[in-house]
Amino acid sequence: MSKERIKISPDLYDIMPSDYQDLVQSATYGKEDRGWKDIGTSKELIEQHSLCAGCPESMAFRYILASLPNPEDTVMVGSTGCTSLVFPMVAVHNIHSLFGNQNAIASGLKRALSVRFPDRVKDVVVLAGDGATVDIGLDMTLQAWFRQEKFTTICFDNELYANTGGQESGLMQKGFVAKMAPVGKLFDKVRLPEIARESGCHYVVNCTVSKPSLVEKVIRNSVLIAREIGPTYIQLYTPCILEIGKNSMEGLQEMRDSEKPTERFAYKEYVSEPAKQFLAELAAKDKERKAAAKQLAGKA
Amino acid sequence: MTQYRVLPGPEHFLPPAAASMGIYLPNPGEAHINGVIVPEEKAYEEAARQFLMAQVPTIFPGPLVLWAWNEKAAKKAAAVRSLYETLKECVQPGQKPMLIPMPDYRPKYPKINPEVEINPNHPNLTIWHNKIDCCMFIGVHCHQANLSLKIIRGGTSCYTVAMCAQAGHEDAMLSFRDASVEKILKLGEWIRKLKGTVKPRLASAKTSASN
């Protein structure tokens, strides 16, 4: 469906930079089962970016963009932080909001899109750092959930303000000493996943981005549930390797270490009853579709 | 009446918006040259003259024509290509017409390749790199065209033409309004008409250098 809307004018095709030609030819817009396995065989929706070498956030971005179920009709809302360095390189509509305002912007956007495009599914996905989500934007984050706004909130949790030099954030773990927080965090990490559940989110996940297939499942579920039922919240650990004193190649291990059963990013998932029912229906339909496709392939 | 004129720069780092200096937009059937309202016919002649005079006359098609949103957009793209081919036919040896796309408005600084694209947030990189001395915007959304035209006027000596599908651009040195396939092709006709009658800046630059 989407490729029909993304066409280069034939008379000017040859002058388009190759990035754009590739997007039209081999990006996975409109592909029903798109996912992280498309990475490497199709054009990704993220171009070169300016994040640090080995930054887990860049992995998260790639997996998320590969997993969005409906990228051509998705608008992402970002906020100030390292993520805002990436959005200019992303081939999905996106809006940069004032620091902390992302969920308020997304609320208005989602409503406006429903009015403007009543016959088309339009997904809104907020993607912001922990400072924007939990500290500066907590009011907007919570109020959007209280109002049951139908969009997904993704928090890239690196447990501090990374691109301003390492100040303490609400999601920083207790006792952690950062470059700009020399005394060490005196309080516990804010338990936002639990707050999200109590605030009315229908699907809440706390995990790292070490496993692409898991990220794919979580992102897909969160967007589809938000589309049909209500707000969803995903908290992904994307450690800032620079601020925690790691090398470029150590980000993945840091995430693996932090997702062990007793650690703070052990996989936790909450699914509300309506969302459970919805996912079950979705799985049944999916099974049916795959069986039909298999049957068709057998006949052919 | 304002004394301000929209002239090739470099004006200064932050040039004023021409509208704030009293320049206003043409009515249908009119255009403006340097901020002065003129009949459209005169603007065709002047735009053709500027193109034929330039060392590197360049067309910058924007997203509204580069992407085939609908049949009309594709037809405009064909007209832009035809204009470019006409320009190539009509220039003299030493002149180097270019057709450089502005595929979207993402601020891709600093990774843009100025040889193959222009970005409205830092258009000077493309202008400087290719030594463009006359350019025409077409199919660029007005707010991005205004931003870009002002940056070009502020930091380069490039002569700017806007072939605007809406009401025109005060910040261009020459602006048409209500751009259509017919108007794009008509500009091509004027270029053909003036072929051989305009002395390219290339030649005059050599003369002034020898003086």
Domain ranges within chain A, ordered by starting residue = 33-275
Q: Does A17 touch chain B (CB under 8 A)?
A: yes
Q: Is residue B12 part of a domain?
A: no
Position A47 scores a pLDDT of: 80
The CATH class of the A33-275 domain is alpha beta
On chain A, the residues whose CB falls within 8 A of the CB of B69 are 5
CA dist., res. B95 & res. A219, Å (int): 53
CA dist., res. A288 & res. A176, Å (int): 50
Q: Choose the closest CB to B113 out of A8, A10, A17.
A: A17
CA dist., res. A240 & res. A258, Å (int): 13
Which of B139, B72, B71 has the alpha carbon at shortest distance from B100?
A: B139
Average pLDDT, chain B: 93
Closest CA in chain A for residue B105: A88
Interface pTM, i.e. ipTM: 0.93
A9–B78 C-beta distance less than 8 A: yes
Q: Does A6 touch chain B (CB under 8 A)?
A: yes
The sign one gets for the Cα dihedral A71, A77, A83, A87 is: positive
Q: Is residue B123 part of a domain?
A: yes
Q: Is residue B207 part of a domain?
A: no
Cis peptide before B110 (omega within 30 of 0): yes
Position B1 scores a pLDDT of: 63
On the question of pLDDT at A135 being above 90, the answer is: yes
Q: Report the pLDDT averaged over residues A39-61.
A: 91
Q: Choose the closest CB to A12 out of B69, B80, B117.
A: B80
Domain of residue B108: give its range. Answer: 18-194
On chain B, the residues whose CB falls within 8 A of the CB of A15 are 61, 99-101, 116
Q: Is residue B9 part of a domain?
A: no
On chain B, the residues whose CB falls within 8 A of the CB of A93 are none
The answer to whether residues B146 and B171 touch, using CB atoms and an 8 Å cutoff, is: yes
Tens digit of each residue's pLDDT (9 = 90 or more) over B149-173: 999 999 999 999 999 999 999 999 9
Q: What are phi and psi of A250, to 5 degrees?
A: -100, 0
The pairing of strands B174-176 and A93-96 is unpaired
CA dist., res. B71 & res. A11, Å (int): 12
On chain A, the residues whose CB falls within 8 A of the CB of B101 are 12, 15-17
Total structural domains within chain B = 1
On chain B, the residues whose CB falls within 8 A of the CB of A11 are 74, 77-78, 80-81
Position A68 scores a pLDDT of: 97
Residue found by looking up tokens 């003086």 in the block: B211
Q: Does A4 touch chain B (CB under 8 A)?
A: no
Q: Report the pLDDT averaged over residues A60-73.
A: 96
Tens digit of each residue's pLDDT (9 = 90 or more) over A5-49: 789 999 999 999 998 999 999 999 988 889 999 999 999 999 888
Position B112 scores a pLDDT of: 85
Taking the mean position of all CA atoms in its chain, how far away is CA A150? 15
Q: Is residue B1 part of a domain?
A: no
Tell me if residue B6 falls in helix, strand or coil: coil
What residue type is B90 in one-letter code? C
On chain B, the residues whose CB falls within 8 A of the CB of A94 are none
CA dist., res. B204 & res. B209, Å (int): 8
Q: With pLDDT > 70 as the criterion, what percentage of chain B qualifies?
A: 94
What residue type is A34 in one-letter code? R
Q: Does A190 touch chain B (CB under 8 A)?
A: no
Tens digit of each residue's pLDDT (9 = 90 or more) over B9-29: 999 888 999 999 999 999 999
The sign one gets for the Cα dihedral A56, A164, B106, A30 is: positive
Q: Which two tokens stand for residue B153?
A: 């006027």
Tens digit of each residue's pLDDT (9 = 90 or more) over B37-79: 999 999 999 999 999 999 999 999 999 999 999 999 999 999 9
Q: Does A85 touch chain B (CB under 8 A)?
A: no
Distance of residue A87 Cα from the nearest chain B Cα, in angstroms: 9
CA dist., res. B13 & res. B20, Å (int): 16
Position B209 scores a pLDDT of: 36
Q: Is residue B204 part of a domain?
A: no
The neighbour count for residue A295, using CB atoms within 10 Å, is 10
CA dist., res. A8 & res. A2, Å (int): 13
CATH number of the domain enclosing B57:
3.40.50
